[in-house]
Structure 1
Amino acid sequence: MVKHIVMWSFQETLDDKQKKEAAVRIKEGLERLTGIVPGLISVKVVTDALPASTHEIGLFCELESQEALDGYQVHPEHQKMVSFIRTVTCNRICLDYEV
């Protein structure tokens, strides 16, 4: 099994309302990929980070294998979300590891 963790901050140009709307869209869009992307076991998007956090959104995925992660990265439905996420976020960090 592979764990895929990504965190982002919102772009500073977004106001609070825009951040909330973007967070909902990101959460719904990424979490719906379970059952669509082969090998994607689970997806959890955290949008209610505590104030001391250094990032505002967290993505936590479990995938069957490295090959499943590779397929997830290029899957058209994931790429649609990537295109949107890049318009509203910055400071992306990622950690992938095998369990």
Structure 2
Amino acid sequence: MVRHIILWKIKEEVKDPEAAKAAMKRELEALMGKIDGLLEMEVITRPLPSCNADVMLKSAFTDAQALADYIIHPEHKRVGQTFVRPVVTGRMCMDYED
């Protein structure tokens, strides 16, 4: 299994960060069942005050090829272009085998 973890910071100029985070969560989690090899998808939008990230994506894939297919999948690209990139700044990623 391959894990894919992403951390984002919401842009300061976003007028309603809670709505932006809710939309990211809704749209990213809706990818479940649409992309072969995607086993788990969870978006965390309520970090503790000690954190320096606003949103975390935790996902799992059957293997590295499934992750590569997810990255270029049209639904994933649509969600990223419409609901993620316009509202975030900074992105950290960690992929690893479990």
Instruction: Name the TM tier (shorter chain).
Output: over 0.9
- Aligned position for 1:82: 80
User: With structure 2 as the length reference, what TM-score do the two structures score?
Assistant: 0.96
Quote the residue 2:4 is aligned against: 4
Runs (4+) of structure 1 exceeding 4 A deviation are none
Aligned to 1:71: 69
Which residue matches 1:34?
32
For 1:39-69, what per-residue CA distance to the aligned partner results, in whole angstroms no more than 9, with x for missing partners?
A: 0001000000111101000000010000000
Residue 54 (str. 1) matches residue 52 (str. 2): yes
What RMSD over aligned residues (CA atoms) do the two structures have, in Å? Answer: 0.7
Q: Which sections of structure 2, spanning at least 5 residues, go unmatched?
A: none
Shift of 1:91: 1.1
- How far is the alpha carbon of 1:79 from its aligned partner? 0.4
Q: Per residue, is there more helix in 1 or in 2? A: 1
Unpaired runs of 5+ residues, structure 1, are: none
